[in-house]
Amino acid sequence: MRESWRWFGPNDPVSLSEIRQTGASDIVSALHAIPIGEIWPRDAINSHKKMIEEYNGNMSPLSWTVVESIPVHDDIKLAAPGHEKYVDNWITTLQNLAAEGIKTICYNFMPVLDWTRTDLKYQLPNGAFALRFDQDKFAAFDLFILNRTNARDDYTQDEYDRALNLAKAMTTEEQASLTQTIIAGLPGKMTDSYTLDDFRKALARYDHIDHAKLRGNLFAFLRLVSPHAEAAGVALAIHPDDPPWDMFGLPRVICTPDDLDTLFENVPSPANGMTLCVGTYGSRPDNDLPQMALDYAERIYFAHLRGVTRDVHEQRSFFEASHLDSDIDMVHVIKNLLDNEQNLNREIFIRPDHGHQMMGDINRNVNPGYSAIGRMKGLAEIRGVIKAITATNI
Ligand code: DNO
């Protein structure tokens, strides 16, 4: 397994020299400053790579090997008139990356919003902070802050009442902060930041797009992209929709094994692969993660390892738990991924996904989920599992 670490570039509060100390060898990164839809020029890719690999001569080497992510313009998701130029640009970016030796590309196909949480500082009993998605808070935002047309149809009476009580109890500041957390976007997002008005407009563009249409647009995109990925030796690794269910009346189409089966049946190219984001898929109790690690062995090119613990009474609410101590059987996920590597004779990239904000990071400016110490704890735990499994051959 190639231990990788996400780095957001020179503005990331976690520096490359700190990453080197964690023992990770591979960097997951992107050119975040380039507007969505534009080509990443080869020289810009090359300078970013040089920055990462600058001290490789005399220090433990770091290599930029994984891109997370090339954003997919919403016009492609909508198949809007003129979207072809964005597809061409995506292909050129892929080719430029491959020419610089970066051949694993994560991306997602979530409409309008990228990953979403409601709390960025949810305190755990041990004092550290985690990210959380609270379904009731989400509903309070959707129903009473955004006031989305037809939102009422998406909630039961009980859900509506709970959300109403929460909304009534929130101060104006709390409402503003919840709004920011949901629509301004989180680190690494591949969509725009919105104001409430822009957000309503962005949602309205999807009024006529149902699951079948969005799926069709994804397959059409991949049918155009995958021959170029194959030719360049690039592995595409689609990231699931996080959280993995419909939100704001938008269809979400990469949430379950059924979605993945449909995806691979329709676009069988070997370049068409996936990111096994354990925490995202694991936010649904019906997704069996160790089983998915086995079933999609040939398609998994990248894995995000992170645990979630769901609320007992509302299974769509969860917090990001410790990497090994959550509702997900992480040890068996890792064991199955290691078996795949043996059987297929190839390595995959793994990264500790989000970590807790803890110790010296509590008073430090960090990107939510992307602290130094919490992620290092996650990586160290994962590394322990890998070592134990490989050393004892269990
Ligand atoms: C959150 C991440 C997302 C993910 C993108 C993939 O931490 O999992 O930012 O990188 O959605 O395209």
Q: Say if strands 129-133 and 119-123 run parallel, antiparallel, or are unpaired.
A: antiparallel
Q: CA 256, CA 303: separation in Å to the nearest integer?
A: 16
Confidence of residue 305 (pLDDT cuts 50, 70, 90): very high
Closest atom, ligand 1, to C-alpha of 110: 11
Q: Is 241 in the pocket of ligand 1 (CB under 6 A)?
A: no
In sequence order, which residues have a C-beta less than 8 Å from that of residue 168 and are 6 or more positions away? Answer: none
Tokens encoding 120: 């960025």
pLDDT reading at 339 higher than 80: yes
Count CB-CB contacts under 10 A for residue 345. Answer: 7
Q: Is 69 in the pocket of ligand 1 (CB under 6 A)?
A: yes
Q: CA 44, CA 34: separation in Å to the nearest integer?
A: 10
Residue 169 carries which side chain, given as an amino acid letter?
A
Q: Is 115 in the pocket of ligand 1 (CB under 6 A)?
A: yes
Distance of CA 80 from the midpoint of ligand 1 (Å):
24
Distance of CA 40 from the midpoint of ligand 1 (Å):
19
Distance of CA 274 from the midpoint of ligand 1 (Å):
13
Q: Is 281 in the pocket of ligand 1 (CB under 6 A)?
A: no
**What confidence tens digit (pLDDT) does each residue in 170-201 have?**
999 999 999 999 988 777 777 777 889 999 99
Note the pTM of the prediction, 2 decimals.
0.97
Tokens 């592995």 found at = 235
**H or E element, residue 257:** helix 257-266
Q: CA 336, CA 131: separation in Å to the nearest integer?
A: 27
Atom 4 in ligand 1: which residue has the minimum CA distance? 188
Q: CA 56, CA 391: separation in Å to the nearest integer?
A: 29
**What confidence tens digit (pLDDT) does each residue in 232-261 have?**
999 999 999 999 999 999 999 999 999 999
The CA dihedral of 37, 43, 47, 49, to the nearest 10 degrees, is 70
At the topology level, CATH places domain 2-392 in TIM Barrel (3.20.20)
Task: Answer for the pair 271, 234: CB distance below 8 angstroms, yes or no.
Answer: yes
Closest atom, ligand 1, to C-alpha of 6: 10
Return the best residue to mutate from 242, 276, 350, 357 for the ligand 1 pocket (most ligand atoms within 8 A of CB). 242
